[in-house]
Each structure stands twice: as C-alpha cells, then as structure tokens.
Structure 1
Amino acid sequence: MKRRCTLLFVSFVLVFSVLVFAQSAEIYIPAVKETEYGYEGVLAGLNVTVRPGTGHVYVDTLPLTKIDTQASARLAKEVTEEVLEKNLDNYDFFYIIRSDAPIIGGPSAGGAMAAATIAAVLNLSVNKNVIMTGTINPDGSIGPVGGILEKAQAAAQKNISVFLIPSGQRTISIEKKEKIEIPLGIKIITKTEKIDIIDYAKKKWGMNIKEIKNVDEAIEYFTAYKIKKEIIEIKSNPVLQGAMKNMSSDLLVYVKNKLAVAKDKKKDVPYNYEDNINSLLETSEKRIKDAESLYKKGNYYSTSSYAFIASIQAEYAKNLIDLLNADPKEDFLDDLISEKEDRIDDMKIKIREQEPDSITDIEILATAEERITDAESNIKDAWKNFYNKDYLDAVYFLSYASERVKTADAWLSIESSFRGNGTELDLERIKPLVERRIEDALSAITYAQTIGINADTKKLEKAQKEYEGSEYQSALIDAISARAEANLLMEIRGLEKNEIQDKVIVAEQDATKAIYNSEGHGAVPVLAISYLEYAKTFVDSEPTTALKYYKYAKAFAKTSEDIVKIFSGEPKEISKKNLVEPIKGTKEKENSYLALMLLAGIIIGFFFGRCQSKKKRCRFSLF
C-alpha cells in the first residue's frame, strides 16, 4: 500500500508539472493560397507551447510549408528573448501550424509567431479576434509583406475585428480589369489602382486595420498588456577608462610621428603623384585633429579609432613614396611585404604566449587576435596584388596590415590593467560559445537571404576558418559581427533616414541596458563599452553607422555575460520587476492559474489525509 501511495503521488506530480509548466498561446495567422483564379486569403491556426527543456525549437506544419517558416520560428524565439531580456535556453518551443488548404510559404507569419511566443512565455490570454501579418526583424520591428488585401478578406469572412499590418503599408495597389470597346470588338485592359486598406476594410467589412511598428505594439492588441521599458544609465569604469586613455594617448603620439616621417618624404614625390600623396597626408592630418578633439571629450576608444585611420593614410603615403623611388620596385615591394608578414607572425606568437587570468583578459586577447587575423588577411591580399603586378594596391593592403598589427599590440598593452587571481583560464572552454555564435550568424544570414536581402558572408566565412584553426577568440568576434550586420540589414530595410534615427534612440538604450546587465553579472564588457562610445560620434552625421555600433555594443555585452557564466558558473540573476502591466483589467488567465494551484492543493491535501486516515506513512521528500 505504501508503494501504491508513493507511485500515485509521483504520477500526480508529473501530470501536474506538465499542466503547470507547459504554457501556450493560440492565434490565427493570415496567409495566401494559390488557386487557378489567382491568390486567395486563408486563416491558419497557430499554437505556440513553451515547456522546460534545452532551448530547442520544433515546428510542425500541415500542410507542409517552406523552410522559411522554420527560420521565422527560430527568430520568434530569439526576439522573445530580446524583448523580455530573458535567456530562454532552458525552455523548448513548439510551433504547430494547421491550415485547411496549402498556403504559400513565406516569413509573413514571423511577427505573429513572435507575439504568440511572448504571450506564451508570459502566460497571457490572447484575443483570437485579433490577427496580424508582417515579418519579424531581430530587434522586434515588423517588416513589410504582400497579400494584405487577400488576407483582410479572409479575416473578414471569419469576423475578425482587428487586423494588424506593418507600419507604412496602409496604401496598397490592386489590379482591376476593364472592358473597352474597339472597332473590331472588346478589349480587356488591366489598370492599377491604389486604395487605403484601412478605410476600405472599415467601410466594406466594419473591420479595424491598425498599422504597427513592432511586436511590443502587437502584444498590446493581442493581450491588453504592455511590456515595460526601463530607462537606465551606466557609470564609467575608472579602470577601463584609465587603460583606454593611456592606449589612445600612445596611439596619438605614434600617428603624429608617422605623419611627420611621411611629410618629410614629400620632397621625393614624383610630380605626377603629388596630388595623390598630398590628399593622403591631408586626410591623415584631419583625422588626427578629429582624434585630438575626441580625446579632450574623454572618448578614448573613438580617439584610437580615428588615430588608426590616420595612421593607415600616413603609412600608405610613406610606403608609396618609397615604392615610387625604389629600383627595382619588385624587389623593394617583395622585401617590404615579407617584413610586414614577419611582424604579423611575431605578433601572433606574442598573443598566444599571453596567459589570461581574468575574464576581461579573454575579451582583450580576443580583440587583439581578431585584429591580427585581419592583418593576416590583408597581407594575403598584398601578395595577391603583388603577383598580379598591381603594386599600388599591394602597397595599400600591406600598409593597412602594418597598422592593424599596431592596434593588436595596443590592445595587448592594456591587458595588465585587469588583474585576475593568477590562475590561467583555459580558452578551450569558450569553444561551445563560439559554435553557438557561428550558428547564430549563419541563421541570421540565411533568414536575411530568404526575405531578399543580400547579406555579406565574408565575416562568417572568416569566423568558420578561424574556428577550424582553433582561433576561438577571433572567431567569436567575427561571428558576433557577422550576425549583427545581417540583423542590421533586415532592420533598416526600406526605412527612411528619420525612421533610422528613431531606431538609433532605441538601440542606444538597448545597448546601455545590455552593458548594465553584463556589469551586474561581474563582467567588464570592454568592447561593448567602446562601441557604445564610438556609436555616439555618428548619431547626427551617419545614423546607420551609429545604429551598427549600438548593435555591436549590445551583442558584445551579452557575450561578455556569457563568458562570465562559462568561467564563474551560473551568474546570479539580476532582480527584475514585472515585465508587463495591464492596459485594462485582464486577469482571467492569472485567476485560472491560481484556481489550478488551489485545486492541486486540495487534491494533495485529500490524498495526504487518506493516507493518514489509514495510518499509513506516506513520505514526501523535497529536494
């Protein structure tokens, strides 16, 4: 009897655990199907279920859809993590799509999948009289889609009251066929007419169509809750600030000396190259002045970046003058490339000899290693142009490589500022993290390509080669950069400059928050803080560039946090307030949840009482 009591109790706990911990949301998603008369709108059912697991994403569609539906599901999970600022790798996600007819594959359900995922994770009730269409971008913004009229017609047939569409798509083009009389009969012509789908749907079906910019707005319509956003600020890290100040100061002295050497060689410039050399020297001088201005403002990473640009121009001018006066030129260039290549090899050895004893050291060494692999790539381009007799291009690539080596050395110079406990950290332990980041980059690039964006794969390919060569640190940086750039292309697709500027404001706060969280877990996110500072220098002049570096800052802040987790165990969770707040009183799901808990308590109490009434001991072990 005792054994039966135990088995019954364990069975109940298992069943109850599934009920409690499996959270789901169900909505309709509009799609289009192809018929012999053209495209027709249909509504498919979407169920998203979230359960404790290991971060897997499962997709079950009937009828089958294209592979981009799977990509949308993966991105929906990632967006949920971004929006809620929660790591959901301890949960599995199940996406079930059912339709009565074969539907055209496409990523237009991405926004709805993300909204349903957020609702499921937060255990919020969903209004099934609301539907939406729109692709989902990595930052949670909603992208453009086609077939809006057909989808609206399908929604009207199901008496849907609210249809959410991407911002900027209220005006659509429709084709109308008209018959016109001609001398020998009747001719059918097709005319394109633009209509306001919001006004059209309201008048014809009484349906409200709303434009939305992001998944946060979608959640408000679906659940009557809104996601809270906190505005935070971060304080500068005095140790990092001091280290970056010293590095930028040294680089300023270095580039000024380099420019002076190049200017001294001006007297040897052949007449037909004077304009080119003068242009290089003037650009270098201007960048030095920009760097000095940034230094006075305390923007030390930006100072270093501008000094690096100035040093490339000065080095290129110097090497170009030497080449023009060399005889034979081929031997001179051969020796010069070989010399720079030897410097790269020496620096690679120097980096490998470093013994990181703090987590910050790992990030600094990763940065130095990425710079040296960049130099290595450019020296290969120098050799390629040398063998093709393109000597001027060869000089540029070797000049760039030479200055890249200098920046790698500069990063190594600040490593001593961050002292650990004296125990060398095994860099092999970041290998799984590098693998995940490469997979993330591949997924982002693949998804971008499915929606018609030609995302560059060079950095991803570089990361993969570095990984294969066990250069995990530089592979990590390149993989993160590759993903961030692919995501950026998706997020700014079709946007006007003012819309990009709006994104810049949000991106700055997102990056700041990511750095704040990373520091809260004990990290010193060197690159993230540096990119945050650098992004601010482009906000007014080049908003797209500013957005790019804010995205870098956010991504690298999260990676710093991941590295802390690898070497220090599970980081303590930063306490968070409630993630959502009601727009109006909607407590049904919470109340039903409490009722379920109460019912469970009654059943357990009854079960326990019966065991006691029979004077049998039923032990319940909590662990």
Structure 2
Amino acid sequence: MPDSNRKFRIAITILSILLICSSAFLFISLEDIKQKDASITAMSGEVTSQKQKISQLESNVSSLSGNLSRTERLLENETQTRQKLEEDIINLTMVTKSDYGVIGVDENDIGHVIPLEVIIKEGNSNLFLNVANVLVDEAMQSSYQTAIRVAREVTRTSLVKKDILVNIKSPPQEQKLIISGGSAGGAITIAAIAAMEGKAPLSDVLMTGTISEDHSIGQIGAPRAKGIAAKENGAKLFLVPPGQKNEVGDIGIEVREVRTIEEAVKYAI
C-alpha cells in the first residue's frame, strides 16, 4: 500500500510539472501571438500609409502629365505663331523667290524629290540654310555656299544688303531622307540663278550633280534612283553629270549630261 501511495504521488507530481510546463508554454505562445498580431497591425498600417502615398503620387503624376500636355500645346502654338511671323517678315522684305526640287535618297536607296526654295530678301548680305526632315553632311554645308557664289558669278548680281535663304524642307516620312556629298549643289545653283534673274525653273526639268567653283557639274551617287524619282515627280528631262547617263539607264524620260551650270541653265530655266 505504501508503494502504491508513493507511485500515486510521483504520478501527481509529474502531472503537475507537465501542467505547469504546458501553462508556461501556452503563456509564451500567447505572448508571441500578441506580438505577431501587433506586428501585423503595424505592417497593415504601414501598407495603408504606403498605398495612400502611392495614390497621392499617381495623382501628382496625372496632374503633371496634364500640365505637360498643356505646356506642349502652348509651345506648339507659340512655335506656329513664331513661324507665321517669320514668314510674314520674309514676305514683307522679300525681293524674289524661286521654287525647285533637290533629289535625295532614303535608307533603302529610293529617290525622293524634296522641295527647294531660294528666297532673296532685304538684309545684311547673310546666307542661311534651313533644312527640315533631311539628313545632310558637311559637304552639303559647303556646297550650298559654293552654289550661291557660282549663281552670283553667272548672273553678275549684286547682293549688297540682301540676304539669301535656302530652304530644303521635306514632309515627315518614316524613312530618313539623305542628301550627301554635295549632290544637291547643281539644283541649288539653278534655283539661285532663277531667283536672281526673277525667273522660275522649269517644273518638268530636274537635275542632280555637285557644283564646283569652276562652274563644273560633278558626279553623284544613286543616279538611277534619283532619275526614277524625277520621273515620278513629273519631270520630262533629267540632267546628270558627265559620264552618268548610262548609270541612269532607260527610265522612260530623256536623260542628258551637262558639264557646266551654264549648260544646265539652258535646259532648266
């Protein structure tokens, strides 16, 4: 009997210890859960705060986008107004003007006729080149200056207190148009001569070729592509540098070689 009581007391003691340990573990677990709940609540508050900040940022971005769109529209209107004023000023001071065409190629070597305009107006003997939607190289920069000098020599025109504006403006296109190596020099010279003489170049005659100080016409690249473009633009006669008629080949219109700008003038003006 005493052994039974001792075993019973031992069992009770063990159960008591287990109960105490379980209670302690449960207490610790509850505290841990409370801490995690507090952390989750804090994180939820932070998430809510961040969402509010993001919403505010999105609102600010939307507002800035609206302001940017309005600014772009205002800038576009200002640009159009300025261009109109510049055109009005040119028209008021313009002495004479001629319209012609230069021929460039795109990235696929397809020719395109690009509008060319030479304006002579009252000024201070300045020379300006305005190019839009066309890529030109350094040779083109010097070529148009040579073209104006040659035109003055051919026409013996005094440009004292006169400005000359050379405008080459192509409509926007998917393919970039390129004028390289001074290939537009001859056409610019023709247009400048016409403007200085108060005449208009013939609309059905186009040319390509460089211009040199000695008035000679030099060879260019892609003559056939440029000839096809000339034909598609309504030309009946296409003037090319010496030695390049065969490169153009049969394009359905007359192709004639010209050695000097004086020779080209006989056909183009």
Is TM-score (shorter-chain normalized) higher than 0.5? Answer: yes
Partner of 1:105: 179
Aligned counterpart in structure 2 of residue 93 of structure 1, from 132, 156, 164: 164
Alpha-carbon distance in structure 2 between the residues aligned to 1:103 and 1:147: 13
Match status 1:143 vs 2:180? no
CA drift of 1:87 comes to 3.7
The alpha-carbon deviation at position 125 of structure 1 amounts to 2.1
> Are 1:57 and 1:73, in contact at CA under 8 Å, matched by a contact in 2?
no
Q: Which amino acid is the alignment partner of residue 101 of structure 2?
A: Y
**Match in the other structure for 1:208:** 254
**Map of 2:190 onto structure 1:** 115
Alignment match, 1:34: 107
Partner of 2:132: 62
Residue 30 of structure 1, CA deviation? 1.3
Shift of 1:81: 1.9
In structure 2, the CA distance between the partners of 1:89 and 1:74, relative to structure 1 (3 Å rule), is: farther
Which whole-Å CA distance do the structure 1 matches of 2:158 and 2:213 have between them?
15
Deviation (angstroms), 1:45:
0.6
Which residues in structure 2 correspond to 1:537-552 (within 5 Å)? none
Q: Contact 1:82–1:139 (CA<8 Å) still a contact in 2?
A: no
After TM superposition, give the deviation of residue 140 of structure 1 in Å: 1.4
- The Cα of 1:21 is off from its aligned counterpart by 4.8
Normalized per residue, the structure richer in helix is 1
**What amino acid sits opposite 1:103 in the alignment?**
L
1:19/1:163 CA distance change after superposition, 3 Å: farther
Distance in 2, matches of 1:157 and 1:22, equals: 32
Alignment of 1:95-494 (within 5 A): 95-100=166-171, 101=173, 102-106=176-180, 107-172=182-247, 197=248, 200-201=250-251, 205=252, 207-223=253-269
* Cα distance in 2 for residues equivalent to 1:95 and 1:103: 17
TM-score after normalising by structure 2? 0.61
Question: Counterparts in 2 of 1:589-608, with a 5 A limit?
Answer: none
Work out whether residues 164 and 211 of structure 1, in 8 Å CA contact, stay in contact via their aligned partners in 2.
Answer: yes
Q: Percent identity?
A: 28
Unaligned runs of 5+ in 2: 1-87
Larger Rg: 2
Aligned to 1:80: 151
Q: Name the structure, 1 or 2, with higher relative contact order (CA <8 Å, separation 6+).
A: 2
Give the root-mean-square deviation of aligned CA atoms.
2.2
- Measured at CA, do residues 99 and 21 of structure 1 come closer, stay the same or move farther in structure 2, by a change above 3 Å? closer
Separation in 1, partners of 2:94, 2:132: 26
What is the deviation of 1:20? Answer: 8.1
Question: TM-score, normalised to structure 1's length?
Answer: 0.27
After TM superposition, what 4+ stretches of structure 1 lie above 6 angstroms from structure 2?
none
Aligned partners of 1:68 and 1:105 also within 8 Å: no
Higher strand share: 2
Instruction: Give the secondary structure class of the aligned counterpart of 1:108.
Output: coil
The structural deviation recorded for 1:54 is 1.8
CA 1:89–1:210: 2 relative to 1, 3 Å: same
Report the Cα distance in structure 2 between the residues aligned to 1:19 and 1:166, rounded to whole angstroms: 38
Q: Quick one: distance in 2 between partners of 1:23 and 1:68?
A: 27
Alignment: residue pair count:
177
* One-letter amino acid matched to 2:137: K
Whole-angstrom CA distance in 1 between matches of 2:229 and 2:120:
29
Evaluate the alpha carbon distance shift between residue 104 and residue 21 of structure 1 in structure 2; reply closer, same or farther with a 3 A threshold. closer
Asked if the contact 2:133–2:169 (Cα under 8 Å) also holds between the matched residues in 1, the reply is yes
Is the contact made by 1:25 and 1:48 (CA closer than 8 Å) also made in structure 2?
yes
Preserved CA contact (<8 Å) 2:94 2:119: no
User: Once the 2 structures are TM-superposed, how far is the Cα of residue 75 of structure 1 from its aligned partner?
Assistant: 1.1
CA-to-aligned-CA distance 1:275-300 (integer Å, 9 cap, x gap): xxxxxxxxxxxxxxxxxxxxxxxxxx
